[in-house]
Amino acid sequence: MHKTANLPASGSMITLMVASTSVALYLLNTTENFQKAQEMAVTSQLAFLGAAAAFVLLLVSLLDQIKTPLKFIYSCFLKPLSKNGDISTPQGRLEAFYKDQAEIFDDTRSALLRGRHTGLALVAAQLKEQLKVSGSNKAPIWVDLGGGTGWNIEQMNSYFPISKFERVYLVDLCPSLCRVARERFQALGWSNVVVLCEDALNGSFPGIDNPDGKFDVITLSYSLSMMDSYYSVVDRIYELLEPKHGILGVSDFYASNNIIKTDTHGVENYQCNWFTRNFWTIWFSFDHVYLHCSRREYLEHKFEVKKVINGRNHMIIPYLVQIPYYVWVGQRKRSELQQQSTVAQLKAIANVSVAPDCLAVHEPTLHQIQINDLRPRSMSTDSSSSQGSEAPDSPSSVGSSRTLVGANQSASTRIMIDKQVEARFGRKLSQWRLPYNPTLSCHTQFRSYIYAFTWEDPRIDLEVLNIQKDDVMFVITSAGDNALEYALKGQPSRIHCVDMNPCQNHLLELKLAGIHNLNYSEFWQMFGEGRHQDFRRILIDQLSPSLSSTALQFWFKNRNVFDDCFYETGYSGLALRLFKWLLRVKGLTKTAEEISTTEDIHVQEQLWENVVKPSTLPEWLVQWVLSHPAFLWNALGVPINQMKLILDEGNAVQYIYDTLDSIMTRSLFKNDQYFYNLVVNRKYTRESCPSYLSEDGFQSLKTQKSTDAMLLHTKSIIDVLRSLQDGELTKAVLMDHMDWFDRKPWYNALFEKHGFEVEAVGVRVPGSGVSIDRVNMYASCYKATKK
Task: For 176-211, write each residue's pLDDT tens digit.
Answer: 999 999 999 999 999 999 999 998 888 789 988 889
Residues listed for the chain: 787
* Continuous segment of H or E residues that includes residue 304: strand 303-313
Contact indicator for 180, 103 with CB cutoff of 8 Å:
yes
What span, in angstroms and rounded, lies between the C-alpha atoms of 95 and 640?
A: 67
Residue 411 lies in a domain: yes
For 161-240, strand residue ranges (E) read: 167-172, 193-197, 217-221
- For 30, 293, 720, the CA distances from 364, given in Å and listed in that order, are 102, 20, 21
Same domain? For 427 and 349 the reply is yes
The per-residue pLDDT for 623 is 63
> What is the average pLDDT across 516-522?
96
- For 450, 466, 490, 671, 700, the CA distances from 463, given in Å and listed in that order, are 27, 6, 10, 20, 20
Distant-in-sequence, close-in-space partners of 159: CB < 8 Å, separation ≥ 6 = 120, 121, 123, 124, 125, 541
Q: Which residues pair with 241 in a beta bridge?
A: 215
Give the residue with greater pLDDT, 666 vs 318: 666
Which range is least confidently modeled, 99-113, 284-298, 726-740? 726-740
- For 385, 636, 780, the CA distances from 649, given in Å and listed in that order, are 37, 19, 13
Does 20 have pLDDT greater than 60?
Answer: no
Contact indicator for 329, 249 with CB cutoff of 8 Å:
yes
Does 530 have pLDDT greater than 90?
Answer: yes
Contact indicator for 473, 458 with CB cutoff of 8 Å:
no
Q: How confident is the model at residue 373 (pLDDT cuts 50, 70, 90)?
A: very low
Percent helix, strand, coil in the chain, to 5, is: 50, 10, 35
Same domain? For 417 and 534 the reply is yes
Q: How confident is the model at residue 388 (pLDDT cuts 50, 70, 90)?
A: very low
The per-residue pLDDT for 356 is 33
CA 188 to chain centre: 35
Same domain? For 513 and 557 the reply is yes
> What is the average pLDDT across 246-264?
84
Residue 425 main-chain phi, psi, to 5 deg: -100, 20
Does 624 have pLDDT greater than 80?
Answer: no
Does 495 have pLDDT greater than 90?
Answer: yes
What span, in angstroms and rounded, lies between the C-alpha atoms of 707 and 512?
A: 7
Encoded amino acid at 240, one letter: L
Q: What CATH number is associated with residue 297? A: 3.40.50.150
> What is the average pLDDT across 451-459?
91
Same domain? For 151 and 256 the reply is yes
DSSP string, 319-346: TTS-EEEEEEEEEEPPPHHHHHHHHHHH
| Residue 736 CB-half CA count within 13 A | 22
pLDDT in tens, 587-615: 999 999 999 999 999 999 999 999 988 88
| Dihedral sign from CA coordinates of 486, 489, 491, 492 | negative
Domain end (from 76, 92, 116): 76
- Give me the number of domains the chain comprises: 3
What span, in angstroms and rounded, lies between the C-alpha atoms of 472 and 729?
A: 5
Residue 369 main-chain phi, psi, to 5 deg: -85, 110
For 18-87, strand residue ranges (E) read: none
SS3 387: coil
The per-residue pLDDT for 100 is 76
Give the residue with greater pLDDT, 533 vs 286: 533
CA torsion 360→366→370→373, rounded to 10°? 40
Residue 667 main-chain phi, psi, to 5 deg: -160, 170
Does 404 have pLDDT greater than 60?
Answer: no
The per-residue pLDDT for 414 is 46
**How much of the chain exceeds pLDDT 90, in percent?**
43
Q: Classify residue 692 by burial, with Cβ atoms within 10 Å: 0-12, 13-18, 19+.
A: buried
Same domain? For 17 and 155 the reply is no
> Phi-psi category of 439—alpha, beta or left, where left has phi over 0 and alpha has psi -120 to 50?
alpha
The per-residue pLDDT for 366 is 27
Give the residue with greater pLDDT, 265 vs 435: 435
Alpha helices in 558-635 (DSSP H): 570-586, 589-597, 601-607, 619-626, 629-631
Does 498 have pLDDT greater than 80?
Answer: yes
What span, in angstroms and rounded, lies between the C-alpha atoms of 308 and 256?
A: 14
Same domain? For 257 and 157 the reply is yes
The per-residue pLDDT for 353 is 37
Do the strands 472-476 and 780-786 form a parallel or antiparallel pair, or are they unpaired?
Answer: unpaired
What span, in angstroms and rounded, lies between the C-alpha atoms of 235 and 663?
A: 65
- For 73, 97, 541, the CA distances from 78, given in Å and listed in that order, are 7, 11, 41
The per-residue pLDDT for 265 is 66
Which range is least confidently modeled, 67-81, 82-96, 160-174, 499-513? 67-81
Q: How confident is the model at residue 626 (pLDDT cuts 50, 70, 90)?
A: low
The average confidence (pLDDT) of the chain is 79
Same domain? For 109 and 52 the reply is no
Give the residue with greater pLDDT, 350 vs 37: 37
Q: Which residues pair with 473 in a beta bridge?
A: 495, 731
Q: What is the CA radius of gyration of the chain?
A: 34
Does 577 have pLDDT greater than 60?
Answer: yes
Which range is least confidently modeled, 2-6, 402-406, 420-424? 402-406
Residue 558 lies in a domain: yes
The per-residue pLDDT for 286 is 84
The per-residue pLDDT for 11 is 47
Same domain? For 447 and 530 the reply is yes
Domain end (from 299, 318, 333): 333
What span, in angstroms and rounded, lies between the C-alpha atoms of 231 and 238?
A: 11
DSSP string, 443-500: HHT-SS-S-SS--S-HHHHHHHH---TT-EEEEE-TTSHHHHHHHHHT--SEEEEE-S
Contact indicator for 483, 505 with CB cutoff of 8 Å:
no
Which range is least confidently modeled, 77-91, 526-540, 643-657? 77-91
pLDDT in tens, 474-486: 999 999 999 999 9
The per-residue pLDDT for 750 is 87
Distant-in-sequence, close-in-space partners of 644: CB < 8 Å, separation ≥ 6 = none
Residue 599 lies in a domain: no
Q: How confident is the model at residue 228 (pLDDT cuts 50, 70, 90)?
A: confident
Same domain? For 234 and 270 the reply is yes
The per-residue pLDDT for 571 is 86
- For 110, 114, 151, 286, 621, the CA distances from 71, given in Å and listed in that order, are 16, 21, 20, 19, 66
Does 48 have pLDDT greater than 90?
Answer: no
Give the residue with greater pLDDT, 299 vs 742: 299
Residue 584 lies in a domain: no
Does 16 have pLDDT greater than 60?
Answer: no
CA end-to-end span of the chain: 118
What span, in angstroms and rounded, lies between the C-alpha atoms of 304 and 290?
A: 23
Give the residue with greater pLDDT, 442 vs 377: 442
Count of other CB atoms within 10 angstroms of residue 497: 30
Residue 245 lies in a domain: yes
Same domain? For 199 and 230 the reply is yes
Contact indicator for 104, 71 with CB cutoff of 8 Å:
yes
Residue 250 main-chain phi, psi, to 5 deg: -135, 130
140: closest CA among 162, 119, 114? Answer: 162
Same domain? For 132 and 198 the reply is yes
> What is the average pLDDT across 492-520?
95
The per-residue pLDDT for 499 is 93
**How much of the chain exceeds pLDDT 70, in percent?**
72
What span, in angstroms and rounded, lies between the C-alpha atoms of 597 and 220?
A: 55
The per-residue pLDDT for 601 is 94
pLDDT in tens, 150-164: 999 999 999 999 999
> What is the average pLDDT across 741-757?
81
Contact indicator for 731, 474 with CB cutoff of 8 Å:
yes
Residue 503 lies in a domain: yes
The per-residue pLDDT for 247 is 96
CA torsion 297→303→306→307, rounded to 10°? -30
Same domain? For 451 and 361 the reply is yes
> What is the average pLDDT across 379-403?
37
The per-residue pLDDT for 410 is 45
Residue 214 lies in a domain: yes
Residue 141 lies in a domain: yes
Contact indicator for 567, 677 with CB cutoff of 8 Å:
no
Which domain does 21 fall in, by range? 2-76
